[in-house]
Structure formats: structure tokens, C-alpha cells
Chain A
Amino acid sequence: MSEAEYHPLPVATESHKDSETEKYHAFVNLALGLAAITGIELVLVYLPFNTVFIFTVLLSLSLFKFIAVIAWFMHLIYDKLILTLAFGTGMAIATGTFIALGFLFSRGNVDMDAITGF
């Protein structure tokens, strides 16, 4: 490629760089937090606590990680609301499907003898 065709990236403005530096600190803190939570999750399943308690804590930690990555790493808190809606709609349908299937295919509602394929 010839030099004439090369267009170097322009240097960002100072205010833009400051905002990116702020984000950098948020990203570092979040990465450390996520790593720590993964460690806690690993230890938690081996602890002799009540099953319901562990299940609830695992679910909460997982939800926190999920939301944290979407909000900060995926920039959703810095972006337009419509993007949240675009993704949220899919999430809502997925969650709804999960809950509905959970109820429809509970042991009481399924003829176990009819499903003998496996």
C-alpha cells in the first residue's frame, strides 16, 4: 500500500481522552470484581451451607456479573436507551420462554412414559 493512501487515525481530544481514562479505571475495577466473584462462586459450591442459600447466592452473583458486563464492558450505561430496549426485548422473550417451558415441562405435566426416545 502506498503512503498516499495511508490515513493515520487522528488524535482524540483531551476531554475525550479523560472520559476514556475514567472508563479505564472502571474497567479495571470491574475486571478485578468479576475475577473475585468467580473465585467466590467456585468456593461456595463446596461449602456446607443450606442448598437454597447457595443457590440464591450463586444466582445473584451470576446476575450481577451478567448485568455488570452488559452495563460497563458493553457500554450500555453510556449509550442510548433504544439499544437497551433492543437487547432487553430479546432478553425478556428469552426469560419468558425459559419460565414458560419450566412450567409446561414440569414432571407433573409430562407423560414420562411417552418420551422413551432416550
Chain B
Amino acid sequence: MSDTATASHEDGHASLIIDNKKLLMWLFLGSDCMFFGTLISTHLIYRKLYPESFEPTALFSLELTSFSTFILLMSSFLMALAVSAMHKGELKSFRRNVIGVIFFGLIFLGCQVYEFAHFVHEGLTLSTNTFGSTFYMMTGTHGVHVAIGVFWLICMYFYSHTGKMDAHESAIDVEVAGLYWHFVDIVWIVIFTAVYLIEFI
């Protein structure tokens, strides 16, 4: 098949092609949904079964958690811009936005570490009661996801300086990393409402 014919063939089927990495990431995110679904369900069920075991409103700082939520949402925005920049081939813009995402991710983790330290200081540990067990398990797992995302983006940032970035492949790689980061964000959206806000009404 000639080059032209190959190109035509590729153009004709371009709309049918799904990148394997992207499809696998979406499947992984679907399975991660089930994982977080069970963690959140467990927390809420134990909260319903033992409402008197712990009163978290005295401990929760809604202002801090709202700030964390805002930070994570803005990091998602920057990640979307980073993906867009990569699709346009603008490497400098990509780097700028990724640095922003990493910075916001680290702020979020810092807030979580501060929150955990405060809770432990106040006597709520993993083994204090069912609330402590399910709360730390759920938010801790989410925190680990954020940490992995930050590490992934740091690697990607340094990789962008090696000059080995290929236009198509790298755009897909950045998009896949972006999907993961946005997922971490949507999980927090659910946790913020189901675990924190609900306690105050």
C-alpha cells in the first residue's frame, strides 16, 4: 500500500480508533470507582449504625476542607490546560501548568497531613472507634492516590526536559495522567459532601 493510500486509510478510520492507554485508564478508573464506592459506603454505613460513637463536627474544620476542595478543583483546571497545551504542542505552557498542578497537589497533601495530625492530637486514631477506622482508611487511600498523581506528574515534568517527548504519544500520555488526576478530584468532591458537609446539617 502506498504512503498516500495508507494515509487515506488512516484518515478514514481515524474516528474509529481508540487509544489503548486511554481505554485502559478509563477501565481502571471504573474499577477504582468501585474501590472508593465501597470505602465511602463502609464509612457512611458505620456512621449510620453508630451515630453516637463519635461527634466529628467539633473536630472537622469545614473552612480548611473547603480550601482543600478549592485547591484540588483548581489543580484540575490547570491539568486540563496542561493537556490542552500538549495537544497544541506548546511544551512551555504544558510545563507551567504541570508545575501548578504539582504545587496545588502538594498543598492539598499538606492540608491533609495537618488535618490528620490535628485529629490524632485530639485523640482520634485509626483504632479509636469505627469512625476513626473508616475515616482514615477512606481519606488516607485518597491521599495516597493524590501522592501517586503528584509523583507521576513530577516524573512527567522532568521527562519533558529530556527532549524525548513525541508529539502524539506524549499528548496521549499527558491526557492519561490528566484523567487520573481529574478522577482523584471527583472522588474528593464526593468525600467532601458525603463525609464532611453532611455532618454539619
List residues of chain A with CB under 8 Å of any chain B CB.
Answer: 1, 5-7, 9-12, 16-17, 20, 23-24, 27-28, 30-31, 34-35, 38-39, 41-42, 45-46, 51, 54-55, 58-59, 61-62, 65-66, 69-70, 72-75, 79-80, 82-83, 86-91, 93-95, 97-98, 101-102, 105-107, 110, 112, 115, 118
Contact = CB atoms under 8 A, between A and B. Distances in A.
B89 A90 contact: no
Nearest to A74: B182
28 contacts: A7-B166, A9-B170, A16-B88, A20-B88, A28-B77, A30-B77, A31-B77, A38-B66, A38-B70, A38-B73, A42-B63, A45-B197, A58-B197, A58-B198, A65-B189, A69-B185, A75-B83, A82-B23, A86-B27, A90-B27, A90-B34, A91-B30, A94-B34, A97-B34, A102-B44, A106-B48, A118-B129, A118-B130
A23 B84 CA distance: 8
A30 B73 CA distance: 10
A51 B197 CA distance: 12
Interface string B150-184: 00000000000011111100100001001100110
Interface of B: 18, 22-23, 26-27, 29-34, 36-38, 40-42, 44-45, 48-50, 53, 62-63, 66, 69-70, 73-74, 76-77, 79-81, 83-84, 87-91, 129-130, 133, 162-167, 170, 175, 178-179, 182-183, 185-186, 189-190, 192-194, 197-198, 200-201
A9 B175 contact: no
